Structure 1
Amino acid sequence: MTSSFERKLGASPAPRDPGSRSRATDGPAADGSPNAYARFIPREEVRSFAAWRPSSFGSAPQNPAAPAPAAPLTPELVAAQLQAARQSGYQDGYRDGLTALEGFKQSYAQQVTGQVTAVAQAFRGQLQQLEQGLAAQLADVAVALARQVLRSELATRPELVAAVAQEALVATLASAKQVAVHVHPEDLALLSLHAGEALAARGARLVPDAALARGGCVVDSEVGIIDASIEARWRRAMDGMGQRAAYEVAPSADDAAAPVTDENGAGA
């Protein structure tokens, strides 16, 4: 049988005996020509071989495991793969949907919170303006009522000027010697009748003063002045209320808007 190596060289095969392989690999031929088998071994003569490694001593050569053949595609296998793909896609979509829904809820909550905060702030500002407006109107009504009550008291009880004069005398220093009580001319008789003893005890003299409104007085002495006029007492009362309304002797349109009734419910 002609080997592939000999066919390539174009030489006819030579008869060989069983020991020819060992002789061929020992060296050159007997006639001195180089032996073709000294370097090459035909593939047909090689039954099994393995690459030598230092760790292969004392162990049989092992061939790498061949990959297992792929299972043939059947309708059932295709259907199972499609079902698995659908289930995986459904789970991925469901998870992405939950993530998107959570993001939407947070965004919507922030938007609604911002809108509610803006509405609450606007409502609070309007409420404060309303409270301020109501407080101002209430103060105006209170001032108007106070004017009417004061006028009513002065008209119905003019003898109250005597109590005012006595309080002013008490506030005057005891060391004062030259004491003069200025009152409206129409109140002179009332003071003499209801506060004559107090005036005599302090040695005070009555001085008519038309510039003063009825119901008030001014005590003048060498140590100072006690202003108990209606205007001064009204101004101090308004300062306590945080108002700057001046007292008006004659009724105004605002005062007429707040009628005052007496104890029997009749208009004053």
Structure 2
Amino acid sequence: MTSRPGAQVRVHDPDASVWEPPEIGDEGLRPARRLPTAAEIEAIEEQARQNGFEAGYAEGHEVGKQEAEKAARAKADKQLRETVAKLESLAGGLTDPLAAAADQLEPELLTLTVALARKVLAAELETRPELIEQVLHQALEQLPGRSQEVRVHVHPDDRSLLDEYAQSLDTRVRWVADTTLARGGCRVESGAASVDASLERRLQQAVEAVWGDLAEPARPAAPEDASASEDDS
């Protein structure tokens, strides 16, 4: 059997796919999807880099702002502390001169206080001379060994005020007129024991209660034969 020239022989292959023509609608053939060009890809990459830069810049700007605020607060705190320290130093400079002035004025105030107290006591003794009896009584109560003879030193002007009181004593008393003692005070002795109830000593005790420990004021010493005379009773 001869075949016609140009005739094609088709072999049936069950696994072969059959070609189908594309569908044609109202809009004609659908165009195939276009791939981006190299220039478009480069533009996309540049845009991505620009977006990333802007995001990073914004984030860095926020972090930098926070760091700047933190540094500013630290600087302000430091300046505040320095200012407070300067104010405290100035305040200390103001109080130190006052403290020094107080230290200088204290002896003068003490002297004035003692002088005023002495005048008050002197005025009290003028109006109530019998107070010397209370002073002597308290001194004798503090004196140990009263079974022996007691020597009582008083100012000569106070001696006559104690005659009546002396009669009530059950102890032998030797009166010593002592001009070194101010009026209103006395000093009693019995053997080696003695009690100082002089005006100066009582003033010192009163001032010590307020001003603290003070040095005992010097009392002028005088020979007993020149300043005191004994009188037995």
- For the superposition of Structure 1 and Structure 2, which TM-score range results when normalised by the shorter chain? 0.5 to 0.7
Change (3 A) 1:214 1:224: same
Partner of 1:201: 170
Which structure is richer in relative contact order (CA contacts within 8 A, separation 6 or more)? 2
Given candidates 60, 75, 79, the residue that maps to 1:107 is 75
> Post-superposition shift, 1:73?
4.9
Give me the whole-angstrom Cα distance separating, in 2, the residues matched to 1:173 and 1:156. Answer: 29
- Alignment RMSD, CA only? 3.6
Given candidates 163, 166, 182, the residue that maps to 2:137 is 166
> Post-superposition shift, 1:123?
2.5
User: Is contact 2:117-2:203 (8 Å) kept?
Assistant: no
TM-score (norm 1): 0.53
Give me the whole-angstrom Cα distance separating, in 2, the residues matched to 1:243 and 1:132. Answer: 20
The Cα offsets for residues 27-52 of structure 1, whole Å up to 9 and x where unpaired, read as: xxxxxxxxxxxxxxxxxxxxxxxxxx
Give the paired residue count: 179
The Cα offsets for residues 150-206 of structure 1, whole Å up to 9 and x where unpaired, read as: 32222332422221111111111244411111111111112224x3344x3222132
Alignment of 1:111-260 (within 5 A): 111-120=79-88, 122-124=90-92, 126-127=94-95, 130=98, 133-134=101-102, 137=105, 140-141=108-109, 144-158=112-126, 159=129, 160-193=131-164, 195-198=165-168, 200-240=169-209, 241-242=211-212, 244=214
Runs of at least 5 residues in structure 2 that lack an aligned partner in the other structure: 1-36, 219-233
The Cα offsets for residues 205-263 of structure 1, whole Å up to 9 and x where unpaired, read as: 32211111111111122141211112222333344422647769xxxxxxxxxxxxxxx
Indicate the structure (1 or 2) with the bigger Cα radius of gyration.
1
Runs of at least 5 residues in structure 1 that lack an aligned partner in the other structure: 1-67, 249-268
SS in structure 1 of the partner of residue 187 of structure 2:
strand
Change (3 A) 1:191 1:129: farther
> Post-superposition shift, 1:77?
7.8
Give me the whole-angstrom Cα distance separating, in 2, the residues matched to 1:219 and 1:176. Answer: 13
Change (3 A) 1:69 1:78: closer
SS in structure 2 of the partner of residue 227 of structure 1:
strand
Residue range with higher mean Cα deviation, 133-142 or 184-193: 133-142
Give me the whole-angstrom Cα distance separating, in 1, the residues matched to 2:106 and 2:155. Answer: 33
Structure (1 or 2) with the greater strand fraction: 2
Q: Percent of pairs identical after alignment?
A: 22
Alignment of 1:44-63 (within 5 A): none
